[in-house]
Amino acid sequence: MSNSTSLTQFLLLAFTDRQELQLLHFWLFLAISLAALLANGLILSTVACDHHLHTPMGFFLLNLSLTDLGCICTTVPKAMHNSLWGTTTISYMGCAAQAFFFLFFISSEYFLLTIMCYDRYVAICKPLHYGTLLGSRACAHMAAAAWATGFLDALLHTANTFSLPLGQGNALGQFFCEIPHILKLSCSHSGYLRELGLIVASVCSAFGCSVFIVFSYVQIFRAVLRIPSQQGRHKAFSTCLPHLAVVSLFISTVMFAYLKPPSISSLMPICAPKKGAEELLRDRIFSL
């Protein structure tokens, strides 16, 4: 990272200039993060201690809770620190670490949600092959692949972005370090094009996961509607709808964050805790 000698810190976007509102943001972040940490801790301990939950879905839910904890621990502590002390700075290496781990956990999360969709597809459409297709070794391999793919995705984006010469100042215009906002500071066209290629590859990968999820749920709903009894259909739907709700919540949050029009950027101080609230809501959905 050749920039480290010339650029030692970044300036994050301040939530507000008023001290009382900064304290309000601190307590809001604290409440949401503690609730999300408690919810994920309960999920982890319940899945680990209850042998009835030692199933493929329980295993993937445990991994998903780890991504939740990772996202919270990556972004929220620094935001709380800045709100409490009225600062906006983050070190160069701290920003690189935050960008890497945030992208790592977010990418791994979506790959895990895709795998969980496959779990529901096999359970509903191919129940006789469930034990074969989703044995303990197969589940471990799929989870490892999700984590490894997320790690590689984050590593490539972070290494390329922080190797670029940054000549447009050090103000990110965001509340935490994200790759797109760091790229705006770059003065290298070739490096920008490399990152654009990586972004296109990541978008294609995410689009492929989305197509797989849609296709799987089309097959699932067709299979459920063929179940003769109303009780059987209700039971089948109840095992799928929480996952579908969580996937929809995840996609809507990502789309709001990255595809929002500039005209609503002034609402971001209100929406900044949205990710933590999403983690908490998702835990509540999966616990139903």
User: And the tokens for 135?
Assistant: 């044995």
| Stretch 5-26: mean pLDDT | 76
Q: How confident is the model at residue 267 (pLDDT cuts 50, 70, 90)?
A: very low
Position 186 confidence tier, pLDDT thresholds 50, 70, 90: confident
Cα–Cα distance, 163 to 264 (Å, whole number): 31
Half-sphere exposure of 71 (CA within 13 A, CB side): 27
Instruction: Give the model's confidence band at 282: pLDDT under 50 very low, under 70 low, under 90 confident, else very high.
Output: low
Give tens-digit pLDDT for 189-232: 766 677 778 888 888 999 999 999 999 999 999 998 888 888 88
Give the pLDDT of residue 106. 92
- Report pLDDT digits (tens) over 100-135: 999 999 999 999 999 999 999 999 999 888 888 999
pTM of the model: 0.85
> Residue 279 in contact with residue 41, Cβ under 8 Å?
no
- Domains of the chain, start order: 2-286 (1.20.1070.10)
